[in-house]
Amino acid sequence: MLYIYHMSITEKYDNVFKALASPIRRQILDDLRDQPLMTGVLCEHFPELSRYAVMQHLSVLEEADLVIVERKGRERWNYLNPLPIHQIHERWIGPHAKRAVALLDRLKVDIEG
Amino acid sequence: MLYIYHMSITEKYDNVFKALASPIRRQILDDLRDQPLMTGVLCEHFPELSRYAVMQHLSVLEEADLVIVERKGRERWNYLNPLPIHQIHERWIGPHAKRAVALLDRLKVDIEG
């Protein structure tokens, strides 16, 4: 039997921002930015945490659709899903303001050194 | 006397995501996306909330640097600051992945109708 659970847009955003409110989870996304990683390898990046704790963080990220998990045999590969972050950007910046914001950001970096 | 408090990058991100985890605060940012608004006008957009509650939400957004407040005499103008949102995008997507993500997003909209 197939259950389809439709989350509202509001619930989706709630999950995304709650997931991102944790520094550890943000660091996991940093680690996944350039390549997918196996769960075991990710755990090695966080020696201060138990494997269980890292897996809990991963499941929060997966629920928020920020991480996509692919199972290959016994391996569990974690991918960063950039779409929710892209949608945040579109919601409040959108195509029209992109150039202006990029310019402002560069100015800020220049001024602050 | 001047006090300068330096927030760490981690604290800054914590504030941003905690601020964005509230649907009301996200709606305030939606309202400010296209134009700055006076606090009184913003309050009228949320008739179910007291003026005090709206001002509390605004101060959380101001603390997270998502809203910039300009005082003109007795008027209090609220502006959306797009920079923190831009920086979230840069952190996990960056310039190299922008085109691919925009394409994926368009595909997703096409598929989902």
Chain pair A-B, CB pairs under 8 angstroms:
87
Q: What is the CA radius of gyration of chain B?
A: 17
pLDDT > 90: percent of chain B = 70
pLDDT digit string, tens, across residues A37-53: 999 999 999 999 999 99
Over chain B, what is the mean pLDDT?
88
- For residue B18, the one-letter residue type is K
Q: How confident is the model at residue B78 (pLDDT cuts 50, 70, 90)?
A: very high
Residues of B in contact with A90 (CB under 8 A): 105
pLDDT of B105 reads: 72
State the Cα–Cα distance between residues A100 and A98, nearest whole angstrom: 6
Mean pLDDT on A25-42:
95
Please, which pLDDT band fits residue A24 given cuts at 50, 70 and 90?
very high
Name which of A14, A20, A29 is nearest B23 (Cβ-Cβ): A14
Report pLDDT digits (tens) over B12-56.
999 999 999 999 999 999 999 989 999 999 999 999 999 999 999
Note whether A83 contacts B: Cβ–Cβ < 8 A. Answer: yes
For chain A, domain boundaries: 1-81, 82-113
Please give the span between the terminal C-alpha atoms of chain A, in angstroms, as a whole number: 59
H helices within chain A, ranges in order?
Answer: 9-20, 23-32, 39-44, 51-63, 83-92, 94-112
If you compute the radius of gyration of chain A from its CA atoms, what whole number of angstroms results? 17
Enter the tokens of residue A20. 């991102």
For A68-75, what is the mean pLDDT? 94
Residues facing residue A67 across a β-bridge? A80
Are B85 and A89 in contact, with CB atoms under 8 Å apart? yes
∠ CA A48-A54-A55, nearest 5°, is 155
Q: What would be the CATH architecture of the domain defined by A1-81?
A: Orthogonal Bundle (1.10)
Q: What is the mean pLDDT of chain A?
A: 88
